[in-house]
Structure formats: C-alpha cells, structure tokens
Amino acid sequence: MGLLYLFLGVIGLLAGATMYMAGSALELPGVGAFTGAIVILVAIINLALGIGCFMGWGWVWTLAVLFAFINIVIAFYNWWIAGHTMAGLTTTLVSIIIPVIILWYLFRDNVKVYFGKA
C-alpha cells in the first residue's frame, strides 16, 4: 500500500505542475495555479502516507481509512453528477472497488497491529 501512495504522490506532483503550466498557456494562470496547488497538496499528502506506511505510523492508518471513505463518497457524487449513465456506473464501480479493497486490507488484524491500532 505504501508503494501505491508513493506512486500517486509522484503522479500528483507531475499532474499539478502540468496543470499550473497549462493554466498559464491558456492565459488562465489563476485557475491553473489554484488547481495545480490543490493537486500538489494532495500529492504531498500521498507521499507522506506512502512513507508512513513503510514506517508504520499510526496516523497513516487513520488517514488512509478516512481517505478511502471520502473516495467512496466522491465516486457516488461523480456518478450522480454524470447523470446516472452506464459509463458513469462502470467508472463509479471501479472507483468504489479500489477503496473497498484498501479498507478490507487496512482492517486486517496483522495490518492494524503493524500500525498500532489493534
């Protein structure tokens, strides 16, 4: 799971920088800077989660559980916004399956012991 968060952090940093530059190229520097800053902030949190997973920090477990639940809520919200289409449903299911697997993993006894949550 730590590798997943590290990967997401690196991708997020690249995406945030790209959004910043794209906003400037489209002559919308404020929009690009704002969006890029949010993506970079989330990327930094993902990098911290990745490092924390390898270190066994207890707060990482709590934050990972919180993020998984937030991702499930966002997936349903996105499906609702998309107009309940079949393509949207497929994306929603994939967007829900991944956090559910993460939650299943996080609530395993050995993982909770590793993070000091048992």
pLDDT in tens, 13-66: 998 888 888 766 666 667 777 888 888 999 999 999 999 999 999 999 999 999
Locate 60 and state its tokens: 């990482």
**Phi-psi domain of 30 (left: phi exceeds 0; alpha: psi -120 through 50; beta: other):** alpha
Q: Determine the pLDDT at residue 25.
A: 65
Q: Determine the pLDDT at residue 27.
A: 67
Where are the chain's structural domains?
A: 1-55, 58-118
pLDDT of residue 76 exceeding 80, the answer is: yes
List Cα–Cα distances, 9 to 6, 31, 89, 95, in angstroms: 5, 21, 27, 18
Q: Mean pLDDT of all residues in the chain?
A: 87
List Cα–Cα distances, 81 to 2, 67, 75, 93, in angstroms: 31, 20, 10, 15
More confident residue, 91 or 96: 96
More confident residue, 108 or 95: 108
